[in-house]
Amino acid sequence: MRAVIQRVSRASVTVEGKIISSIHQGLLILVGIEEADSKEDILWLSGKISRLRIFEDENGVMNKSVLEVYGDAIVVSQFTLHASIKKGNRPSYINAAKPEIAIPIYHSFVNQLELDMQKKVGTGVFGADMKISLLNDGPVTIIIDTKNKE
């Protein structure tokens, strides 16, 4: 699994002109899924994100997690995170999992993140044309790949 985590002051997901998820302070998480991703990847990534210390403490140091600032989260599936541009200029998405594999993994990841954060997590709509609006706070953007844990 590959994730792009953005610390946001606010974020929302709109599908067909309707806002389906919105948050204030928290994390916008774009997640790409490969066929080789497993329950271990879900557990590791969710734990890492929920404990990631990227929010400022009282001294202005990034020392608090989303849990400690009572922040929220939105998770949006994004197969393009697995784009390969080794040949030519048109990206290949051969490494991205097909929907029949990716959808259950995506839902399992959202469920695990809700358990780790102890609150409801907003989502996008898998496979839909989504419009993402965000105000990146910092900006702080972190990229995590479960295949590079060490």
- What is the maximum alpha-carbon separation in the chain? 48
Task: Report CA-CA distances (Å) from 116 to 52, 72, 103.
Answer: 12, 12, 20
Segment holding 7, helix H or strand E:
strand 2-15
Characterise 136 by phi-psi region: left (phi > 0), alpha (psi -120 to 50), beta (else). Answer: beta
Does 126 participate in catalysis according to the annotation? no
Does 78 participate in catalysis according to the annotation? yes
Name which of 21, 29, 23, 77 is nearest 54 in CA terms: 29
Does 80 participate in catalysis according to the annotation? yes
Q: Which of 55, 79, 112, 123 is catalytic?
A: 79
- SS3 (DSSP) at 76: strand
CA 137 to chain centre: 16
Q: Which of 6, 55, 78, 112 is catalytic?
A: 78
DSSP 8-state symbol, 71: -
Q: Which residues are catalytic, by number?
A: 78-80
